[in-house]
Amino acid sequence: MSKREVYEQKTEELITPFVEDKGFELVDVEYVKEGGNWYLRAYIDKPGGITVDDCEVISRSLSDKLDEEDFIEGAYILEVSSPGLGRPLKKEKDFVRNMGQEVELRTYRAIEKQKEFRGILDAYDKSSITLEVEEGEKLVFDRSNVALVRLAFDF
């Protein structure tokens, strides 16, 4: 397991009790490098959406616990936020939570001269993702050709 995976997993274990105690859901934890800085990000959600105050409460609790445990080498920036609209669906629980929702799907290789698709997330498994693109019309995508799946949003 990489250092990154260890940090993410251990952080997930530390934050879960705080998140569940508030009735929130832990969507994801990621440890990533951007522009020379390391970021430890926790994404939380709840029905009706997360507020800045919700993020602050969890951030404060997690920050104290991280200082106590002190298992991350080097400097990093802690961020706690809501998943956000354009966030990709990556893990199984992302797909479970968004079944029946409208999503955007992008493929690596064109399918009938098209790389971007939009439809209702109808089914998924380890090897494929199925979208209902029109009433009764379903498209099945091979997961190895799927570059991105995210919730669709209209402005």
For residues 75 and 98, membership in a common domain is answered with: no
Domain CATH code at residue 112: 2.30.30.180
pLDDT for res 47: 83
What confidence tens digit (pLDDT) does each residue in 18-48 have? 999 999 999 889 998 989 999 999 999 888 8
For residues 27 and 56, membership in a common domain is answered with: yes
The better pLDDT of the pair 60, 88 is held by: 60
Q: Determine, yes or no, domain membership for 31.
A: yes
Domain endpoint, select from 51, 81, 111: 81
Q: Determine, yes or no, domain membership for 86.
A: no
pLDDT for res 155: 47
Q: What is this structure's pTM?
A: 0.65
Q: Determine, yes or no, domain membership for 87.
A: no
For residues 110 and 66, membership in a common domain is answered with: no
CB 99 within 8 A of CB 132: no
What confidence tens digit (pLDDT) does each residue in 79-112 have? 998 887 667 888 888 898 889 989 999 999 999 8
What confidence tens digit (pLDDT) does each residue in 105-134 have? 999 999 989 999 999 999 999 999 999 998
Q: What is the mean pLDDT of the chain?
A: 91
Can you give the residue range of the structural domain that contains 38?
A: 3-81
Q: What angle do CA 41, 45, 50 make, to 5 degrees?
A: 95
pLDDT for res 50: 87
What confidence tens digit (pLDDT) does each residue in 131-148 have? 999 888 999 999 999 998
Q: Determine, yes or no, domain membership for 71.
A: yes
Cα dihedral 153, 12, 129, 132, rounded to 10, equals -30
Q: Determine, yes or no, domain membership for 10.
A: yes
For residues 7 and 73, membership in a common domain is answered with: yes
Q: How many residues does the chain have?
A: 155
